[in-house]
Structure 1
Amino acid sequence: MGTTLSQDALNRALIERQMLRERADKSALATINHLFGIQAQEPKSPYIGLWTRLKDFQPQELEDLLVSRQAVRILLMRGTIHLVSAQDALGLRPHTQLKLDRELQSGPFAKRLRGLDLDAVAEAGRKILEDAPQGTADAGRQLLERWPDREHTVLGNALRNKLALVQIPPRGLWRRSGRAVCTTLEAWLDQEQHPMSRETLVRRYLKAFGPSTVMDAQQWSGLTRLTEVFEKLRPELVTFRTEAGKELFDLPDAPRPDPETPVPVRLLPEFDNILLAHADRRRVISDDRLGVVIGGKPTVLVDGYVVATWSITKERTITVDYIDQLPRSRQKAVAEECDRLRDWIG
């Protein structure tokens, strides 16, 4: 096992790979590909996530990607909505199916789904949603004609898990995001799913989030049994260890900046992947603050770590709720970044 990497060293590597040290001169699509997806439960979150990472980003660029079907909003890692490129959607979605199937067997709807032929429900729902994109609950109401003893919300939830469903525009647009209307990924892109190899998945993950443990990759992806994939890749990877002695894997040529590298204030949207992509999240947020993330509050990074939350008022003023006491110079830097975001939104 290699050199020990401090928490600050892991922080700076993550900040660098997540394009948060300096705003990049890249397209939105290239950035979405590099980040291997952006959390998108909240429709406007990806716009803030791209603004905080890119020079001169404008919402129209992402809207155009959604309308032209180069990027899609779809249920992926950890059973949550992500914004990904069309090709990544086709390659990643098959890997989530086992977890989503398990959720139907043990989740909140499991008892009410018992005895139901879920494959038959999925095929009937596929025809409905491909013929006329609509909400899953609406499709569930139509399925009641065939399964009248069930609840439409339960049938709709089965479709959510069994089918690869895309939330189509105007859902996810900046100025006029509508309700979640869905059709299948295959119908939307006119292509079949083609699972990327697990080796490719791990390499892409390390590029965006490494150095990482096997458990980190499993936490991000929702997949299990990745140890064998890391072992297969071991000859082409480099290894380190955490201060607690856990083995970290990484790509040999990936950036690992000096732990003292200065980083600017950054405002992150709700559920940003930088806060969710590791089993041990202390490289960016301490354990006693995870409730902030789970609660879906946008966060403020100072010197690479979460120190506050932020919100936008109806008057479009940005307010900051500090968790830590900060010197005035740091608070001034936070205020200046808030002003930049307010001006951009305006």
Structure 2
Amino acid sequence: MTVLDARALNRATLARQHLLERSALAVPQAVAHLCGLQAQEPQEPFTGLWSRLAAFAPAHLDDALTGRTVVRTHLMRRTVHLVTADDALAWRARHDTMLRQRVLGTYRSELAGIDVDAVGAAGRAVMADGQPRTMTELVQALEDRWPGPPRRVLGELLVAALIPMAQLPPRGLWQRTGGVRNLPLSTWLGRDVDPLPAEDGDPVGQRLLHRYLAAYGPAASADLRAWCGLAGLPAALKAARDELVVFRDERGRELLDLPDAPRPDRDTPAPVRFLPAFDNAILGYHDRSRIIDAAHLGLSVAGHRTVLVDGRVTATWTVREQQLRISPLRPLTAPEQKAVHTEAQDLATFLDASIEDIRLDTAASAPARG
């Protein structure tokens, strides 16, 4: 069985994430290919798409959000993701149990004794008038019936688990601020959430598996589970196994992949790329060694923006007071410094014409948030 080392896996990930070469895909098609972008920080997906798409302009994502082809919703791992409307409707029912379990597990004591189904039915009845509401407004409509749980807890149960919700624009638009206003996905998109099919073999899980491997493979079942938050999709994996090819990593883990998916040569040059906070190119795996060193694993989880040099997380970056600052995690060679600075200049132009200074630290330093 072929063994793929970390560098070979790195190049496969970069190719499928459009980080080796920027893609000409339109925004909805790119979001679909990437299986969504993590988006709890509303402005971060703009940088993620800029680093992946040729001639990307913020208006392209704004148009997709206001045109309802892309939507912000709680989905994988109970985090807010930017996904296509089609994927939100097709995937939501398969994630319902996980979303509910994660909220109930987090707030076990606060929600003890609560009739969760009754809360959900009451929340859906309130939202049936078609009016967008903040989480606070929705909870206020129900708190007389359920005065016990803290408002925040009851609100998270409703909007993150029990009712498939869209977070409406202007939330998530370019350089716009706005609180979260929620509307049921079916109301915002004009279509109902797809019901789970009754067939054996978890057909929705099989589609998730294929889509994940197209954007992240080769990958282990543990990586798939870490990406979506679902319990491993064992029925889907069993049903789809004959359609997949199998590799091993250097630790002996079994890696699954699509037969015709790109697996570039391990020595393929990789350009400098600036990633946003919580980018799924890093978070979409259980074993992230293909893209980030063990010593730096906490950076992406903590929300630091990162820089890929030769395909690996090698620096963090911030924007503060009209300065774009890059803080290397290891000393950079002169050619690497030049390549980072060149990409940073383009990023500064994209982000904000008022950025007046690009500072590249010459020695590794502790990263700062910003």
With the shorter chain as reference, the TM-score category is over 0.9
User: What is the TM-score of this pair, normalised by structure 2?
Assistant: 0.90
- Are 1:146 and 2:151 an aligned pair? no
In structure 1, give the amino acid aligned to 2:331.
Q
Deviation at 1:98, TM superposition (A): 1.3
- Aligned twin of 1:50: 49
- Aligned twin of 1:80: 79
> 2:141 is paired with a residue of what secondary structure?
helix
Take 2:148 and 2:292, find their aligned partners in 1: how far apart are those partners? 47
After superposition, give the CA deviation of every residue in 1:237-264 in whole Å (9 maximum; x if it has no partner).
1111011111111101000000000010
Question: Which sits farther off after the overlay, 279-288 or 223-232?
Answer: 223-232
- Aligned twin of 2:287: 280
Deviation at 1:129, TM superposition (A): 3.2
Asked if structure 2 preserves the Cα contact closer than 8 Å seen for 1:137 and 1:157, the reply is no
Asked if structure 2 preserves the Cα contact closer than 8 Å seen for 1:39 and 1:80, the reply is yes
Q: Map 1:111-126 onto structure 2 (within 5 A).
A: 111-126=109-124
Question: Which sits farther off after the overlay, 6-15 or 169-178?
Answer: 169-178
In structure 1, give the amino acid aligned to 2:343.
E
Deviation at 1:128, TM superposition (A): 2.5
Q: Map 1:1-346 onto structure 2 (within 5 A).
A: 2-107=1-106, 109-131=107-129, 132-160=131-159, 161-194=161-194, 195=196, 197-315=204-322, 317-345=323-351, 346=353
Take 1:278 and 1:154, find their aligned partners in 2: how far apart are those partners? 29
> 2:3 is paired with a residue of what secondary structure?
coil
Distance change >3 Å, CA 139–CA 308, structure 1 → 2: same
Question: How high is the sequence identity, in percent, across the aligned residues?
Answer: 42
In structure 1, give the amino acid aligned to 2:266.
P
Take 1:164 and 1:140, find their aligned partners in 2: how far apart are those partners? 16
Gaps of 5+ in 2: 197-202, 354-370
Take 1:314 and 1:94, find their aligned partners in 2: how far apart are those partners? 44
Q: CA RMSD in A?
A: 1.3
Take 1:297 and 1:129, find their aligned partners in 2: how far apart are those partners? 36
User: What is the TM-score of this pair, normalised by structure 1?
Assistant: 0.96
Question: Which sits farther off after the overlay, 32-41 or 144-153?
Answer: 144-153
Question: Which sits farther off after the overlay, 168-177 or 202-211?
Answer: 168-177
Asked if structure 2 preserves the Cα contact closer than 8 Å seen for 1:218 and 1:224, the reply is yes
Take 2:37 and 2:181, find their aligned partners in 1: how far apart are those partners? 20
In structure 2, give the amino acid aligned to 1:157.
E
How many pairs are equivalent?
A: 343
In structure 1, give the amino acid aligned to 2:111.
L
> 1:300 is paired with a residue of what secondary structure?
strand
Take 1:139 and 1:260, find their aligned partners in 2: how far apart are those partners? 54
Take 2:147 and 2:40, find their aligned partners in 1: how far apart are those partners? 31
In structure 2, give the amino acid aligned to 1:142.
A
Asked if structure 1 preserves the Cα contact closer than 8 Å seen for 2:8 and 2:264, the reply is yes
Asked if structure 1 preserves the Cα contact closer than 8 Å seen for 2:224 and 2:232, the reply is no
Take 1:193 and 1:343, find their aligned partners in 2: how far apart are those partners? 40
Deviation at 1:105, TM superposition (A): 2.8
Take 2:126 and 2:321, find their aligned partners in 1: how far apart are those partners? 39
> 1:110 is paired with a residue of what secondary structure?
coil
After superposition, give the CA deviation of every residue in 1:167-201 in whole Å (9 maximum; x if it has no partner).
10010000313111111111111211115621111
Take 2:218 and 2:273, find their aligned partners in 1: how far apart are those partners? 21
> 2:207 is paired with a residue of what secondary structure?
helix
Deviation at 1:130, TM superposition (A): 4.2
Distance change >3 Å, CA 100–CA 240, structure 1 → 2: same
After superposition, give the CA deviation of every residue in 1:283-324 in whole Å (9 maximum; x if it has no partner).
001122111111101100000000010011131x21011111
Take 2:261 and 2:148, find their aligned partners in 1: how far apart are those partners? 55
* Greater share of helix: 1
Asked if structure 2 preserves the Cα contact closer than 8 Å seen for 1:99 and 1:222, the reply is yes
Asked if structure 1 preserves the Cα contact closer than 8 Å seen for 2:222 and 2:232, the reply is no
> 1:124 is paired with a residue of what secondary structure?
helix
> 1:281 is paired with a residue of what secondary structure?
coil
Take 2:128 and 2:18, find their aligned partners in 1: how far apart are those partners? 37
Take 1:148 and 1:282, find their aligned partners in 2: how far apart are those partners? 46
Take 1:212 and 1:150, find their aligned partners in 2: how far apart are those partners? 40
Deviation at 1:203, TM superposition (A): 0.5
Gaps of 5+ in 1: none
Take 1:97 and 1:158, find their aligned partners in 2: how far apart are those partners? 12
